[in-house]
Structure 1
Amino acid sequence: MMMRSLWFSTRVRDWATQIALLGGLLATLWWLAGNTLQNLAIRGIRTGFDYLWQPTGFPISESVVTYTPSDSYLWAYVVGLTNTLWLSFLAIVFATLIGLFVGLSRRSKHPLLSRIASVYVTTLRNIPLIVQIMFWYSVALSFFPPPREAVNLLPGLFLTLRGVYTPSLEVAPGGGLLMAAALFLVLAIIVVLRLPRIKQVRLSSRLACGIGGWVVTVFALSVLLAHPLSLELPELTGLNFTGGMQLSPEFSAVIFGLTIYSAAFIGEIIRGGIEAVSKGQWEGGRALGLSDRHIMFRVILPQALRVIVPPLTTQYLSTVKNTTLAVAVGYPELGLIVNTVINQTGQAIESILIMLGVFLTISLSISFFMNWYNARVALVTR
């Protein structure tokens, strides 16, 4: 009688079903792992992570951190990870700025600007990213001039067949201390500007005082430390440039393609968020005598963030994952490093697991930060 009553209990049946499904999943994973290890043993393929400490013996064309072929496979993974993070960071920042401009342009009353933004979004969203990266790579290799005929867009910025040359930051002894002090001053100024008494002052005056104080303080510290930070400009020497920083054609093509592709989606996300705000907010702002610019940035956008942030998080995650397409033009991000290691060592399972764990960690970190920010801007009802 008791067993019969348990069987008709919805709660017991639900728990029994969940336990059965979990047991089936664990059993399947156990069988797959055992079968894989058995097949690897039959073929004489060794497993384990001992290879991580062995020297790689292969070069990496470009890297954010220092690397030599005598470094270990573990450090090669670190090099690929830093390249991926650097590429993701730049693409997200530039795509967000361009996307904001595109989203506002789509709502502009100027017909030409609105049409151009519409064509931009419609065109780039419907062309595969890999095709765009290959296009910009071929443009960089085919249409950019040799170093002697480089296109000088800005002082110290040159476009050439061999890549983009930009000024580089030279750090002398004391430079790390100066950068840490500059960052600390930024945080201190942000805290001071948020004090209740200071917030009563006009925003433009607060920003002017904060930026001015930061510039004067950092300049004074730089003088005291004998100018430990300086810019090194690229100079044409013979057939190529020396000094400065070189952005390879591969990196330039990937960052350009990834940025303008992601910006098209981000622009639509921002436009949709702005459209979701009631038109009564505009009318209320105009009734108070505010200009459209003040209404947009003081009234509309803060409310639109509640709609913008969730899909924007998804787009940021897609941007990070899309960096793996850089392998198509040979930029050494994590995916290309993993493929090279697999070809050299045969440690496919371990390498893929490392790659999966890295991208999972990056994605969860971005999601955590964006969810935290979304909770900060969410509308709380009581």
Structure 2
Amino acid sequence: MIVVPGHHRDTLQELLDATNHTAPGPLPDTAAFTGGLADWAQGTPFERAFAAADEQLQLRKEQLREVVAPWEHEADTFVAFSRELEGLREPGDLIQHTLNRLLRVMDFDQAAYAILEEDQLVYVHEAHRDGVPAPEPGLHVPVPLAGTAFQRVQRTRTTEWSTDYPSTPGALPQVVEQGVKSGMVTPVLRQGHVMATIVLCTVNRWQTITPHMRKTVELTVLRLEHALELRRAVGEVRSTLEAGMRTLSRVLEARDAETQGHTARAARLATRLGAHFRLDRTALEHLRYGAYLHDIGKLCIPERILKKPGKLTPEERATMQRHATEGHDLVTRLPGVAPQIVAVIRSHHERWDGRGYPDGLAGTDIPLGARIFSVCDVYDALISERPYKRAWSHDDAVLEIERQAGGQFDPEVVRAFLALVRDP
């Protein structure tokens, strides 16, 4: 580091260039050294001038293709980061994990995720180091985009950065007042458009923002973009699939003369009951899909039996009971149907005491999803009017479910069900 008095910056640069040209380099046609210059005005902090000079140095190093590697094993860390993202399903979790990671591997104090909406920005996620205040503006506080670095990022779709943020055109007053000295804003794209930005700042200290740092952040954000797009696409497929299943369940209800909405109500109740058993999101999804399709086998049962208002003969009852295995056979022909979904379809008429059908399973040999759904299915059937019966009251239906604990139903599932319907 050289501190030179006076204002002759161009003259100093010429002297350095001449010296560099004269001195022998490490390889032919390679400069002997690289430097960066900045003005240190009287009455201003030395650290500010040092960070600005260091930034110029790093830019020159990048131009000269010198290697800058402040983080070892970077490829390994990106592989690990990708695997970490794969284990997260919610977009908010992906974003928060990315902010936490950037603070962990980069020399910044604050990180935020800001959504750009028309002519304003809104922070929706943030992270900060211990002892550092949360980023300003606060979460969910709209701020005009006009004239800010965010607007420039939105227009150019490239990273904006400043080693000396307070002197940046359009610097946000509340950010400057908080003591932010250096920062960068990197766009988050969706289908080529800027949908959000990642913001990184230092507080009460100047930070040299090197090309390598920018590349590291941009690669991290690119990986986040891919993860968010994948979750969005998967979410759309799931929504379409679930809408199709709900439509099919309504068709089955109409054919079976069931009360409209029975399957959807039983599926919602089963999902709530499944949450009591701490089923994860995938397991709850399988339970719900199995509920929607639980009676799909009735497509193979003659209408004269399905809609018979009176008591079924033993032969007719045997035919009706075939819907569990017929449903199993139908869905197993479809590629990609999870075994847990098939289990609900096949086993929702099994009984805890082993006297159910089609396989005579007993106790915990019955899949948990089927045990949960069977309680919800019977409860909603009891409180619904059918051609062959009147609707029961809620209290009578709950008493019947309670009475069947240990017989038709898993006692533990019944206990959870009673707690759920008595304290909804």
Q: Give the TM-score of the pair, scaled to structure 2.
A: 0.23
Larger radius of gyration: 2
**Relative contact order (alpha carbons < 8 A, sep ≥ 6): 1 or 2 greater?**
1
Q: Give the TM-score of the pair, scaled to structure 1.
A: 0.25
The answer to which structure has the higher helix fraction is 1
